Chain A
Amino acid sequence: MARVSRPVGALAAGLLVVFPFMGPPIYFIHLLAGLYMNVALASSWALLGGYTGYLSLGQVTFFGVGAYTSAICLSIYGISPFLTAPLGGIFAVLLALTIGYPSLRLRGPYFSVTTLSIAFLAQVAASNTTQMGGGYGIQLPSMPLPIWETEGIFYLVFMMLAGVVVWSARTMEHSRFGLALLAIRNDEDVAEVFGVDVVRAKLKAFVLSAFFPGVVGAIWAYQISYIDPRSAFDIGLSIDMLLMAMFGGAGRWAGPVVGASVVYLLSQTLVFVIPSELNRVVFGLILVLVVFAMPQGITGFVEGLWTKHAARRHSGASRSGPADAPAASAPRQPVQDEAETDRRSP
């Protein structure tokens, strides 16, 4: 499997890198740049939400902090956002440490509502800080290059960012740290008893999942060249991050990539078909359907099908009992599915 998929993946990545140089319509460059941005955001949301089960509804706060950092640095000091983007990430991390330490002690809905409140507070604060342009926002000078080159640069930068986030998620998933987070998701108290430094692990995941939105926000501000509190701290973006990650299957590095691609391309297509207000209605309903039908997201669903198929083929060929069926590639998956179907509480 890996022997085939690696060259194919490399080829696909290579094609995507040279894509803007092949002279496609500018709309497609812009569309894909947006896609990469969403992949980066969904994947960074999943670093915390997917592995620990702590659903943050406030990750847009860090996106906004990054956006404002680069906007202020550019409009006042004239420093390019490509240089200040890491600074945006650092400010996001500092804020995450301040927020995370106390709020990660809260579990379940308590945590979600607190983060939601913080995102809203950030918006109110930005609207009322005159140094940040208040409610009027900040106009950024655009890049002094023709539009083709500008769009191409953003395309490559967002692509690189998405690659870094996805790579981090993948590395994390197979590390001790990733396992510690999954243990927290399964049962936090048990994880603690088994020697996981729960507080530290959660905080680390929260900080990671705040850093990347900070960097992405910084670049986004430059690309869109005008930001205000409503767009930079848009609570809808928090919704999108959660939706994309859960749709694809948070808890697997590939999940947010698939989820962001499907949801983003769907939303960009839906714009032509149905009025934009209904767009979000459809999104909400999609989330409902996904949780009903595919609680582990698209990737979890496909993996489940594949495992079942492999098991059936194997037991058919060897004519032995189901005990010989190969262990599932993701052991937590089938166990959970069975638990879901056979027991309905009275």
Chain B
Amino acid sequence: MSTLSFPLLAQAVVSGILFGAVYAAIALGLGLVWGVMRILNIGHAALAILGAYLSLTLVQTGIDPLLSLLITIPVLFLVGVGLQRFVVESMHGRKEAELHTFLILYGIMVAIENLQVFIWSADVRLISAAYSSRNLNVLGLILPVGRVISFAMAAAAVAAVYLFLTRTKMGRAVRAIASDREAATLMGISVRRLSRVAFGLGTATAAVAGLSLGLVSSFFPGIQIVWVSKAFLVIVLGGVDNILGLFLAALVLGVAENVIGVVAPAFVVDFVAYVLLIGTLMVRPQGLLRRVGP
């Protein structure tokens, strides 16, 4: 606990922005899958942590963290395609499809988390690269290089998905599915194929999210519950079908946690996200930044 002087505040805000991008990266895939398929993949953060562990294992063999993405992104893309193909599609037509899909994804989450405990143990890990310990000094603010890289990666993932959805033909088709499935089918869009692509893309971003998380924050299998509920908060705050709103909401959460962390005891920080989440859901379940109406 200390008083809030200006340099301290500025440092907290900047750290918050850098860290907030990690929230954005995790929420990105969760929001994409939800927006297109109307499915809450509760195992999304478990997949992100899986990405972090895969990167960690590759880094331990001497590969640069950024290069590990060349392997983890395709792997998690295939996981997402598989989930869509074998879980979501086989639930179609069931009376309680939504409930059953959620339960299956929940079961998969439990299995993935504990498989991680089995393979990598429940010890706390951090991904470190040669440059992680270096600091940049900008205008009197200290910017650890690891955090800057993590921020850049997360922001790049957000930008890539945003450009995909708005600038490519396939991305526009995906958005068409999100706004009206049946109309999209009538327009000749291959809903089945593009849903697989969208789910795959959603989980592929978890690979980036996992690495950017692992570079700045320690992780262990059980922590995924915390990340998934924070990512959920971000999409609730930012709105599901609004990628830029999501990014902004993530930065707000990061800054809020960091600033409160300066003035209040550490455990209060844990409450910030949840109080925001529960409060927002009560007051405005459609999201703070989401347009009202269709």
Contacts and interface: CB of A to CB of B under 8 A. Distances in A.
Nearest to A278: B118
Interface string B272-294: 00100110011001000000000
A336 B99 CA distance: 14
Interface size bucket, A side?
35 or more
A281 interface: yes
B42 A109 contact: yes
Given A114-B281, A287-B106, A340-B95, A281 B111 contact: yes
A46 interface: no
Contact of A278 (B113, B114, B225, B278): B114
A235 to B, nearest CB: 6
Interface in A99-156: 102-103, 105-106, 108-110, 112-114, 116-118, 120-121, 124, 127-128
A112 B90 contact: no
B169 interface: no
Contacts of A345: 92-93
Contacts of A55: 99, 102-103
A340 B93 contact: yes
A242 B106 CA distance: 10
Contacts of A116: 225, 229
Contacts of A339: 93-95
Contact of A246 (B42, B103, B109, B226): B103
Contact of A336 (B95, B228, B274): B95
Contacts, number: 128
B93 A343 contact: yes
A277 B118 contact: yes
A279 B98 CA distance: 27
B115 interface: yes
Given A109-B102, A124-B267, A284 B285 contact: no
B104 interface: yes
Interface string A323-346: 000000000000010011001111
A1 B98 CA distance: 36
A295 B192 CA distance: 24
Interface string A217-242: 00000000000000000010001001
A302 B164 CA distance: 49
